Structure 1
Amino acid sequence: MPRIPLGWLAEHVDLPAGTTAEQLAADLVRVGLEEEALHPAAVTGPLVVGRVVERTPEPQKNGKTINWCRVDVGAHNEVAEDGSLRPRGIVCGAHNFDAGDLVVVALPGAVLPGPFPIASRKTYGHVSDGMICSTRELGLGDDHDGILVLSPADVVAEPGDDARELLGLGEEVLEINVTPDRGYCFSMRGVAREYGHATGASFRDPGLETDEDATPAAGGFPVELDDDAPVHGVPGCDRFVAQVVRGVRASAPSPAWMQRRLTQAGMRPISLAVDVTNYVMLDLGQPLHAYDLTQVAGPVVVRRARAGERLTTLDDVTRELDPEDLLITDSPAGAGRAGRVLGLAGVMGGAGSEVSEATTDLLLEGAHFDPVSVARTARRHRIASEAARRFERGVDPRLARVAVRRAAQLLVEHGGGTVEPALTDVDQTAPRRTIDLDLDLPARLVGVPYAPDDVVSTLRAIGCDVEPAGDRARVVAPSWRPDLVVPVDLVEEVARLRGYDEIPSTLPSAPAGRGLTPDQVARRAVAQALADAGWVEVLSYPFVGPHQLDALGLAADDDRRRALRLVNPLSDEQPTMRTFLLPTLLETVRRNVGRGLTDLALVETGLVTTPSGHETPAPRLPGGARPSDEALERLAAAVPPQPRHVAGVLTGMRERAGWWGAGRRADHTDAVAGALLVARTVGVDLVVAAGAVAPWHPGRAAELRLPDGTVVGHAGELHPRVVAALELPARAAAFELDLDAVLGARPGEPVQAVPVSSYPPAKEDIALVVDEQVPVGELLAAVRAGAEASSAGQILEELRVFDVYTGSQVGEGRKSVAFSLRLRAADRTLTAQEAVAVREAAVEEAHRRHGAVLRS
């Protein structure tokens, strides 16, 4: 986000004296520029200019030599016993200054960046009453080889003057948030213009073309625009300005005022050539690049990359280039030598033509690149450069020549040398588009009665050329506003500058509609039911890495490892899309446990990606234009299935201890209950059977099936190795269901309410002894089937398990399962014989299926 030093902004707009960053933020927010942060003054307390009166070197026993100095700080000098003022005594370890030099002195009470408070202290046998400061100590750069000596040619100051004001260290800096359509506000020029709109302050545009800039250029360094493969039908470069500057001390340090402003704006000063291009970019909004002229052979050619080309960029990374990348190259192949790649157009230069210590001759580049092309290249190579940040939002195409001229002037002024009279300006920019605007449209859309004259004056204020003709107008947007392309864009500008506070707050009436779909209603019902049962819903990112699947104990051939890999993942450690929810949900649980929250019941509903391996490759769609229907169909065919799952994890206590009881730890039964709750909410009966699949415990896990036998999920206790790998509380449990499959199994007809019987129920209890390996769920299904098939008819109202017993009374390897049956008829009171018939039928079916016998 751009940082706005108030002193720099005041060069372009009349900023009232005493304006604070907070007041500036309040003014800018009225025109849509939101405050991101306020950065206070870098230095507080007394920071003054001092003149070194004496410098006495004193060798120390440790081999180091320090300087005992007397520094005249004007009215801040120390008071002698006779009442006179005498220079302060200060110990300094640097040696790049001498008596008579002007320096910056931090007096006791000052606080330097860090924060680093200054106080009088005894050191090396002296009382050092302050500190002579270096550039780095003042936060003005990284130079720490010596202290900052003020040049009389750069500053006019006397001992005792306020150095904070002199160096700009007392300035506040406002950081603002710029929306993607307002790229011109990534410059002092753009923000100053908006401040003028907000307050009516007089704005002085530093980016206006002069008569010289409007004159066609002849000669100069040869440049060719040869984009034979535009990515979306728009040339990647439609203007290229090149200027040669010779005899410049390119690697010399830039002036102190420029370094200060760059630092305030969040950029590190490097050298004169680099600092000048960065300064002009921050000031005007036009990115520039400086090449070492001796490393460039003409002509410069702007073209697309070819197969196999590589480039080592300024960050010392060698990059494999893509055919869509727009490049800056020198002499092309076939012109006597192989064409070299000099840089990624609008993104980053190459190391081969970088300005070095020996550079004296420069080639300045100022160009206009297509935003879509730059954005794709920057994202493809993961380069978030300042230039790309501006180009991808749109740069003023009329600014390149102005910016190059300004940069050349600064280089000559501070680095010597001469500007060659010949200039290259290859200008293929298209005429600005004309927008036909109904002058009543802003009033109709916004709801404020804007008069046509108000609309015209507002659009002219933002730089538009407006030709009214009755109730309509022909509008040409300014060159720095590429976002203004259709009438509604102009309506938004009218509303913004006339004031959002003028727009009435009126609630719109809800239009008639079809409401939620049945699936949406069902999903919301599931979320509500889980929340009512004490589950907390969370969301996690759908990206996973192999290490997360390894922690869950998935086998190498597990189908869930066959995941869709992203071309440009947010993190190289998580390059694939999840195939089930538990990897990302368990990461959320682990993070909560690590912060001391151990009693958890977290649930997530989300999409998973399950590639079958038969998907067709996705087509590469054009930018800036709607794809064809065929391309969209191919894109849809390339997208693998993405079913919606629901998963939950429980750790710690399910019921906390208190005066009401001892509490209860969550276990596998709670996970099964959570899954059954999901199914029951949408009217589906799941069959619970034993199942063993990672990451669950093989002996405490259940497989969840639809009545037709389709497996739709699992639930139970997590495997101890998984719990240990994720550092979760012992006996953690989880469930996961294919929610789409469950919803697809809902009955086709709506559930019909039945009359409540007024006849009394009959109750029967049975205890069945079976082998210990028989799942209780299967035994329950057998009892239900037998009871419902009895001769007494459909009178089973409720069936539940209320006890499971193992012990000597039932024999080794056996268990007793007790069931409670509640029977009721709709039209009569049941007889004892009817109740017994149901009981016997249930026992008989359980015996037939599992060899169950009544417990004696």
Structure 2
Amino acid sequence: MKAPVSWIREYVDLPADVTTDELTRRLTALGLKLEGVESAGAGISGPLVVGRVLTMEPEPQKNGKTINWCTVDVGAANGTGEPQGIVCGAHNFAPGDLVVVILPGGVLPGNFEISARKTYGHLSAGMICSARELGLGDDHDGIIVLPADAGEPGDDAFDVLGLREEVIEFEINPDRAYALSLRGIAREAALAFGAPFRDPADRPVPAPNDAGYPVFVDDPAGCPVFVARTVTGLDPAAPTPDWMARRLQQAGMRPISLAVDVTNYVMLETGRPIHGYDADKLAGPIRVRRAREGERLRTLDGTDRVLSPEDLVVTDDSGIIGLGGVMGGETTEMSDTTTNVLVEAAHWDPVSMFRTGKRHKISSEAGKRNERGVDPVITPAAADRVVELLVTYGGGTADPGVTVVGSPPPQPRITISYDLPARVTGIAIDAATTVANLEAVGCTLDKADSTLTATPPPWRPDLVDPFDLVEEVARIVGYDRVPSVLPREAAGRGLSREQRLRRRVGRTLAGAGCVEVISFPFVGDAAFDALGLPADDPRRHTVRLANPLSSEEPSYTTTLLPGLLKAAARNIGRGATGVSLFETGTVAFPVDRGPAPIYGVDWRPSDDELAKLFDAIPEQPLYLAVVLAGERERAGWWGGGRAAGWSDAVALVRRLGTELGLDVEVSASTRAPWHPGRCAQLAVAGEPIGYAGELHPKVCQAFGLPARSAAVELDLDALMRRARDVVPGPEFSTYPLAKEDVALIVANDVPAADVEAALREGAGPLLESVRLFDVYTGDQVGEGRKSLAFALRFRAPDRTLTEEETAAARDAAVALAAERTGAVQRS
């Protein structure tokens, strides 16, 4: 909302020494967020004066253009008092007219410097200016012709045109619709400085009578008040007064015609949207109702719209003529031939206005105000103000008929204790301050011993409960006075088990060199195709969003890998030699139980209704994904580097299991997007929790990742369910370690993990660790077989082991491995 300072001062007696900075500071403290302060003449400097055209001689040119060689009286502004010779290409003025002249040495917006220069055979010393050249609008068809009483030649044109006028722009929150008007902003300014306020809507209005235009309202809930006034004999050629056009431009609106400009001006002035009909195009009485299925309307923007039964419409005997409170129709639009105007000032249900605007994707200045809630009491005054301006500046006649249908809805009564503002804010606010501040914002109060009952003013539909009133009191007292108090943590509270485990997971992965990222949880078929998922893969069955951010990614993801792989590829593409990224987030799997019911917001759903709501919500488990690509160990003076591989992915999961007190079981598997034969299924106590391994080469290529990149994806909820809250620290023995190495020959398809598990179980309690340190295939072990070399480490907590004890444990381990996997010890 843009508000010229002079327009604010028209309604508030602000102290003369109040600067714009001070005004904006105080209004911001009251809750009107400052966007900026601008001045129309900010880009203009130098001599800009009023001039009187003395002569103009048309001179046709060879290019078919006709220019005017003018002499212009600029008084003493040029230093000589002699008429100024200026070439002008416009033709909308005549000798004797007052115009705006910028003399040599001046600068126009865009840093356009003016100098005396020879053109069309004349020395043109200056420029006669148009509105566009001064940055006052888009009109470039002709120059500005000032009113006859605008001033004398040589007078400063900055003041005449209001170019020194400062305009404040505010960002208005949705709950403060009253501030989308000069009436509202001025009321806040009066509140800020304790200055007298003159309400532009406080005016005598004629009483309703039976001579007005007939109006019927079939839906009083949707349109509680409808006021109609008629102006006849309007001069369609009457221009918009300069002061009005200037204020509209300063407020960010383009002047169009007198009838349209007057309705826009009154809307800005009072906050009440007004609509004007060409009365000669109306057929019969006006009726307000809900649209019927299949009805259509071509609105003023030229769009043919199919209406919904929820839309409020304005009709006459010819059909629908307007989308109530949002936009009028083409058939009754005012034009440059309109002489009779029917003025509509109606109050509309804000919820209906909001839904209609969203449904039809219409964003208008009227709709913006109606959907937020407008003062319903001032409809007769706003209509009367429009009639007054049309009569004054358009030469029209006010018809004596006045139509008023309905009455404003009653305001709620809110009971509040005197000390509630003090208890909520922590500021020492006494009862007298509470009363004074609520009265200052327009509330009517009924006072009792310990409580008061407030009736909010009609322009404040946002005040509905006691805490809204607390906010009003607090913002006047000053938010800067609210003390900063650190809240106390309740005894026995703290992080939940899930929070503690999630932090443990994050610290573990960070300690392993991984960096956490967050990506958008949305996918499309292209991502699943890049992952190589089969057509029947359950992960392709997604929850589709009703209003997706992108039509290419319309679904909630069932896997974290697409976003993580894109992030890894982006970093690799920007020069990273290696990345280790992880992400935790929810995925969604449809439950296919039908759509979730939509309940109102004015009551709490029952337990049965909540159960139906939760029943329709998809399953959303928490997942963890890791991607390792490029260098895992860098090269340096210590030797060559090493690329990340599947073993690093599996090792990360094992390390995570250790930190959570879990034994992670690893077995060979096949699952997209991993490479067949290099994919491991991960499980805890027999329950599968995810997969890890090397990505398929086609997946690496599709995402732009280095070959043999690795990835992990786990069901973190399943992992945390089995995690130990407290993981005991390792026990250390002071006795020496006994070392035994064994090499076992097994078939190629026997997983090393199975051999390791058998060795660990067979070795018994003396085994401290087992580690695979070599894999060999070749002629010495035979075709289709491999040799796995394990380092076994034994230690007893209470004694030094003998060679016999160590050998017995080793032999037992080998024997069990042979029994379970067919292993043969290599000599």
TM tier, smaller: 0.7 to 0.9
Query: Could you state the TM-score of these two structures normalised by the residue count of structure 2?
Result: 0.88
User: Contact 2:14/2:190 (CA < 8 Å) preserved in 1?
Assistant: no
CA 1:633–1:23 in structure 2 vs 1: closer, same or farther (change >3 Å)?
same
User: Contact 2:56/2:95 (CA < 8 Å) preserved in 1?
Assistant: yes
Secondary structure in 2 matching 1:706: strand
User: Contact 2:129/2:144 (CA < 8 Å) preserved in 1?
Assistant: no
CA 1:697–1:704 in structure 2 vs 1: closer, same or farther (change >3 Å)?
closer
**TM superposition shift of 1:849:** 6.1
Secondary structure in 2 matching 1:702: strand
CA distance in 2, matches of 1:126, 1:671: 83
Structure 1 counterpart of 2:245: 259
Q: 1:618 aligns with which of 577, 581, 596?
A: 596
**TM superposition shift of 1:649:** 4.2
Secondary structure in 1 matching 2:11: coil
Q: Check if 1:225 corresponds to 2:217.
A: yes
**TM superposition shift of 1:497:** 0.9
Q: Check if 1:469 corresponds to 2:448.
A: yes
CA 1:597–1:503 in structure 2 vs 1: closer, same or farther (change >3 Å)?
same
CA distance in 2, matches of 1:847, 1:430: 89
Secondary structure in 2 matching 1:237: coil
Structure 2 counterpart of 1:232: none
Post-superposition Cα deviations, 1:663-706, rounded to whole Å, max 9, x if no partner, equal 66555555555555555543444444455555x35258634432
Pairs within 5 Å for 1:761-840: 761-767=737-743, 778-779=751-752, 781-790=753-762, 792-803=763-774, 817-840=788-811
Between 1:401-410 and 1:8-17, the stretch displaced more is 8-17
User: Contact 2:758/2:820 (CA < 8 Å) preserved in 1?
Assistant: no
Structure 1 counterpart of 2:391: 412
User: Contact 1:703/1:711 (CA < 8 Å) preserved in 2?
Assistant: no
Secondary structure in 2 matching 1:96: coil
**TM superposition shift of 1:599:** 5.8
Structure 2 counterpart of 1:302: 288
Structure 2 counterpart of 1:148: 143
CA distance in 1, matches of 2:5, 2:72: 32
CA distance in 2, matches of 1:38, 1:101: 34
Between 1:299-308 and 1:663-672, the stretch displaced more is 663-672
Pairs within 5 Å for 1:452-491: 452-491=431-470
CA distance in 2, matches of 1:342, 1:762: 93
Q: Check if 1:329 corresponds to 2:308.
A: no
User: Contact 1:314/1:350 (CA < 8 Å) preserved in 2?
Assistant: yes
Q: 1:204 aligns with which of 192, 198, 206?
A: 198
Structure 1 counterpart of 2:45: 45
Q: Check if 1:135 corresponds to 2:131.
A: yes
Structure 2 counterpart of 1:604: 583
Q: Check if 1:746 corresponds to 2:745.
A: no
Post-superposition Cα deviations, 1:581-607, rounded to whole Å, max 9, x if no partner, equal 334445556666777778654433222
User: Contact 1:223/1:298 (CA < 8 Å) preserved in 2?
Assistant: no
User: Contact 1:578/1:608 (CA < 8 Å) preserved in 2?
Assistant: yes
CA 1:710–1:237 in structure 2 vs 1: closer, same or farther (change >3 Å)?
farther
Structure 1 counterpart of 2:172: 178
CA 1:72–1:222 in structure 2 vs 1: closer, same or farther (change >3 Å)?
same
State the one-letter code of the partner of 1:278: N
**TM superposition shift of 1:742:** 2.1
Structure 1 counterpart of 2:624: 646
CA distance in 2, matches of 1:164, 1:804: 89
User: Contact 1:298/1:330 (CA < 8 Å) preserved in 2?
Assistant: no
CA distance in 1, matches of 2:339, 2:576: 63
CA 1:753–1:136 in structure 2 vs 1: closer, same or farther (change >3 Å)?
same
Secondary structure in 2 matching 1:273: helix
CA 1:788–1:647 in structure 2 vs 1: closer, same or farther (change >3 Å)?
closer
CA distance in 1, matches of 2:241, 2:9: 20
User: Contact 1:452/1:471 (CA < 8 Å) preserved in 2?
Assistant: no
Alignment gaps of 5+ in structure 2: none
**TM superposition shift of 1:408:** 2.6
User: Contact 1:253/1:270 (CA < 8 Å) preserved in 2?
Assistant: no
Between 1:719-728 and 1:732-741, the stretch displaced more is 719-728
State the one-letter code of the partner of 1:785: A
User: Contact 1:297/1:330 (CA < 8 Å) preserved in 2?
Assistant: no
Between 1:673-682 and 1:33-42, the stretch displaced more is 673-682
State the one-letter code of the partner of 2:682: R
Pairs within 5 Å for 1:629-778: 629-650=607-628, 666=644, 669-676=647-654, 678-691=656-669, 693-694=671-672, 696=673, 698=675, 702-707=679-684, 710-716=687-693, 718=695, 733-746=710-723, 751-753=727-729, 755-767=731-743, 778=751
Post-superposition Cα deviations, 1:822-852, rounded to whole Å, max 9, x if no partner, equal 3333333333344445545555565666665
CA distance in 2, matches of 1:58, 1:717: 83
Structure 2 counterpart of 1:23: 22
CA distance in 2, matches of 1:373, 1:470: 41
Q: 2:508 aligns with which of 529, 548, 551?
A: 529
CA 1:581–1:785 in structure 2 vs 1: closer, same or farther (change >3 Å)?
closer
CA distance in 1, matches of 2:630, 2:119: 58
CA RMSD of aligned residues (A): 3.7
CA distance in 2, matches of 1:768, 1:677: 26
CA distance in 1, matches of 2:809, 2:114: 93
Alignment gaps of 5+ in structure 1: 229-234
Secondary structure in 1 matching 2:723: coil
User: Contact 1:466/1:476 (CA < 8 Å) preserved in 2?
Assistant: yes
Structure 2 counterpart of 1:231: none
User: Contact 2:759/2:817 (CA < 8 Å) preserved in 1?
Assistant: no
CA 1:633–1:147 in structure 2 vs 1: closer, same or farther (change >3 Å)?
same
Structure 1 counterpart of 2:13: 14
User: Contact 1:44/1:170 (CA < 8 Å) preserved in 2?
Assistant: no
**Structure of greater Rg:** 2
**TM superposition shift of 1:216:** 4.3
User: Contact 1:31/1:198 (CA < 8 Å) preserved in 2?
Assistant: yes
User: Contact 2:99/2:146 (CA < 8 Å) preserved in 1?
Assistant: no
**TM superposition shift of 1:464:** 1.3
Structure 2 counterpart of 1:159: 153
CA 1:357–1:56 in structure 2 vs 1: closer, same or farther (change >3 Å)?
same
User: Contact 1:784/1:842 (CA < 8 Å) preserved in 2?
Assistant: no
State the one-letter code of the partner of 1:763: K
Between 1:822-831 and 1:235-244, the stretch displaced more is 822-831
CA distance in 2, matches of 1:598, 1:805: 30
CA 1:101–1:306 in structure 2 vs 1: closer, same or farther (change >3 Å)?
same
Number of residue pairs aligned between Structure 1 and Structure 2? 825
**TM superposition shift of 1:611:** 0.8
CA distance in 1, matches of 2:175, 2:156: 41
**TM superposition shift of 1:28:** 1.2
Pairs within 5 Å for 1:117-516: 129-144=125-140, 146-152=141-147, 156-208=150-202, 210-212=203-205, 215-227=207-219, 235-248=221-234, 254-323=240-309, 325-331=310-316, 339-340=319-320, 342-343=322-323, 345-516=324-495
State the one-letter code of the partner of 2:145: L
Between 1:25-34 and 1:822-831, the stretch displaced more is 822-831
**TM superposition shift of 1:60:** 4.9
State the one-letter code of the partner of 2:100: V
Post-superposition Cα deviations, 1:630-680, rounded to whole Å, max 9, x if no partner, equal 333322222221222233445555566777777665555555555555555
**TM superposition shift of 1:463:** 1.0
**TM superposition shift of 1:759:** 2.5
**TM superposition shift of 1:156:** 0.7
Secondary structure in 2 matching 1:242: strand
